Amino acid sequence: MSDPSNPSIAHLAGARPPATDWSSDELARALAAASEWAVGYRERVAEFPVLPHVVPGETRALLAQSPPREPESFESVLADFDQIVVPRLTHWNHPGFLAYFSSAARGPSVVAELLIAAVGVNAMLWRTSPAATELELVVTDWLRQAVGLPPCFRGVILDTASSSSFAAMLAARERAGENVRVDGVGGAGTVPLTTYVSDQAHSSIQKAAIAAGLGLASVRRIASGPRFRMDVHALDRALAEDVASGAHPMLIAATLGTTSTASMDPVGAIADIAEEYDTWLHVDAAYAGSAAMVPEAREPFRGWERADSIVINPHKWLGTSLDCSVLLFRDPDPFREALSLMPEYLKPEPGDGTNLMEFGLPLGRRFRALKLWVLFRCVGTHGLIDMLRNHMGMAADFAARIEADDRFELAAPVQFSTVCFRVRTGPGHEAPDEDTLNRRVLGRVNRMGRVFLSHTELDRRYTIRLSIGSVYTRGDDIDAALLSLGEAADAELAGVRRSR
């Protein structure tokens, strides 16, 4: 209630409260318009170029530079979204999106996002949303079961794999027992804490070391062998050397499904070393973890059940929208010890359930569990396995056709739905510079607009990379990728021949 003795708000006393939101009718009309738009967009998404033809600043120049003073109709906002914003987006749900690791939302996840926004809960504490908390515990356990991990793992959902791996690193740091929580990294009696990854690991582990105050120099990048898998002998030597020089090996992060080639570190042998040195084993399976749902693809995961923590991103290869990263771990205590801090106003009541904010950096937590729950229920594990198999089948087909085409060569063993390859410069059309040739071919392909592929570097060579993750991608799109690549390679190889 306003205080009439307070002059700054006295004028509000007795004033009619302004409408603070749309009426139910207005909301219903806007939702109907938005859902009609969403259905139409998803029907015509393949008609857009995957990558927009835009220059920096173009979108910004088309947008109002200051906020409107008066309300505008939702129809006019939707029209601007449709005409200004959407044509200038990169279309992640396009069937020809074959770059990076996909993040394409299946229908059930799209609808779940609406429900999440409608209830708008913050699942930071059990008390602030009991059902959201318990749904999160249930649905992460569904994922655990689906990928064949034992019941000793429990899970939480964070925004991204970067956050999940960061939380795991903080838990590992806590378990290393250097009391960093209280004393900080430079505190009395602390010894250097070291982390081990392969040279193919995602940069998020190094970034976690920066953010954790441990520094990039604390991360040992272990050479990978010929199949881009961590060399366990080199790992063993690195730990032995570090121990001999007084360091404390804190964390080994094995990658199952590396970013460049989806290679699989030998996690069983790595688990032996982690056990020997009593080092935390984290498994980054952000992309490939979903593939463990497929029985015939599970073998290379053997040993991951010995990890202390594992991250799997359903937003990478299971069809939830960004963001949905599941962090599975055995022992909740190191996470609590590293990350739990309860100011008075958040203190749980006796008898409350699990408070999920204790397992990550942010306090506020979106109701992400709902989209994974809706997805599992509306697609079923059989449907999800079919999608994963279909993607792996299309990738195998693409790889076989690349291998059979003398303009191209495979650059790495094919894993799951990811294929790395190069345009050949061999006899007949030797380019002065193989990297430039491949960069130009990729540029041409992406400018054509039918598919979007990305690149990486393998053995210091520029490499083109295709990865399938969208439920909309079909054989036609793989044909289109091959056609675009063939045309681009022919054009560039002709150019190479002319320039010699």
Residue closer to ligand PLP (CB basis): 101 or 304: 101
User: What does the alpha-carbon distance between residue 453 and residue 438 come to, in Å, rounded to a whole number?
Assistant: 12
Q: Does 287 bind ligand PLP (CB under 6 A)?
A: yes
Rounded Cα distance between 470 and 219, Å, is 34
According to CB under 6 A, which residues from 244 to 273 bind ligand PLP?
255, 257-259
CB of 128 to ligand PLP, least distance (A): 25
CA dist., res. 500 & res. 498, Å (int): 6
Q: Which is nearer to ligand PLP, 125 or 327 (CB)?
A: 327
Q: How many residues at the interface with ligand PLP, by CB under 6 A?
A: 15
CB neighbour class for 103 (10 Å; exposed up to 12, middle 13-18, buried from 19): buried
Task: Decide whether 50 or 431 has the Cβ nearer to ligand PLP.
Answer: 50
Q: Which two tokens stand for residue 6?
A: 């307070």
- Of 28-67, binders to ligand PLP (CB under 6 A) are none
In the shown chain, the binding pattern of residues 204 to 243 toward ligand PLP, with x for contact by CB under 6 A and - for none, equals x---------------------------------------
Phi and psi dihedrals of 188, rounded to 5?
Answer: -60, 135
Cβ at position 163, least distance to ligand PLP in Å: 7
Report if residue 200 touches ligand PLP, rule: CB under 6 A: no
CA distance 78 to 414: 42
Residue with smaller CB distance to ligand PLP, 210 or 247: 210
Instruction: Output the CA–CA distances (angstroms, integers) from residue 358 to 158, 335, 355, in the order listed.
Output: 12, 7, 6
Please say which residue, 204 or 415, places its beta carbon nearer to ligand PLP.
Answer: 204
On whether the CB atoms of residues 198 and 222 are closer than 8 A, the answer is yes
Q: Nearest-CA neighbor of 49 among 447, 470, 328?
A: 447
DSSP one-letter string for 423-479: E---TT---S-HHHHHHHHHHHHHHH-S-B-EEEEETTEEEEEEE---TT--HHHHH
Tell me the per-residue interface mask from 94 to 113 with ligand PLP, x by CB under 6 A, - otherwise.
-------x------------
Min dist. Cβ of residue 440 to ligand PLP (A): 25
| Closer residue to ligand PLP, CB minimum distance, 49 or 319 | 319
Instruction: Select the residue interacting with ligand PLP from 202, 220, 422, 450 (CB under 6 A).
Output: 202
Determine if 313 is a binding residue for ligand PLP (CB under 6 A): yes
The C-alpha atoms of residue 173 and residue 216 are separated, in whole angstroms, by 15
- Binds ligand PLP (CB under 6 A): choice among 139, 167, 252, 286: 286
Q: Is the torsion defined by CA of 257, 200, 418, 108 positive or negative?
A: positive
Site of tokens 């399976």: 285
Chain positions 140 to 199 lying near ligand PLP, rule: CB under 6 A, are: 160-162
- Give whichever of 254 and 437 is closer to ligand PLP, judged by the CB atom: 254
Which residues of the shown chain bind ligand PLP in the complex (CB under 6 A)? 101, 160-162, 202, 204, 255, 257-259, 284, 286-287, 313, 325
